[in-house]
Amino acid sequence: MSTVVIELCCCGQGQRRRKTALLVAVRRSLYVTVDALLQLNADINFQDHKGRSALHHAVRRADYRMAKLLLARGAQTGGVDIAGNSPLHIASIFGHAELCRLLLRYGADLYKKGQHGSLPIHIAAREGHASLVKMMVTLFEVFTSSFIYSRSNITQVTTLLSTS
């Protein structure tokens, strides 16, 4: 099935903004509509004119339920917008710890560099989100230990990402 792209013209600027029905539904928190569109094979990773996917929009809106729905249906955590930011970078900017945990559970890269080479932990620190920085430091320590693949470290990461 091909993706239907709605081209919206900005008033007086002649610039076009690419949106799909899925992106519009995500931005309006229309959960049933999003689910129906995904059942019809809508492109879950389509990016708008700013390079933002449906997951980027859900994270920007702090919509945990929508982000979880998209991730469960296969949304990629590593896609970047035109500024080079992944959904994890966006969640770090706004201090959305629960969304960071969710993204990390679904495979988001804690080491991915975003705009100006910043890691999510750099962004969280810059924005003053101390508890988020603490969580990420703990994850860095676990990931960089020499026993990363030991059962105890996997259990520790799972516990850390599951706690509120």
Q: Could you tell me the CATH number of the domain that includes residue 137? A: 1.25.40.20
Characterise 116 by phi-psi region: left (phi > 0), alpha (psi -120 to 50), beta (else): left
Among 12-21, 28-37, 46-55, the least confident range = 12-21
Q: How many domains does the chain have?
A: 1
CA dist., res. 83 & res. 21, Å (int): 23
Give the residue numbers spanning the domain of 105: 5-162
Percent residues over pLDDT 90 in the chain? 69
Which pLDDT score is estimated for 18?
Answer: 76
Is it the case that residue 92 has pLDDT exceeding 90? Answer: yes
Among 53-57, 136-140, 157-161, the least confident range = 157-161
Which pLDDT score is estimated for 95?
Answer: 97
Which pLDDT score is estimated for 68?
Answer: 98
Q: What are 15's two structure tokens?
A: 């610039």
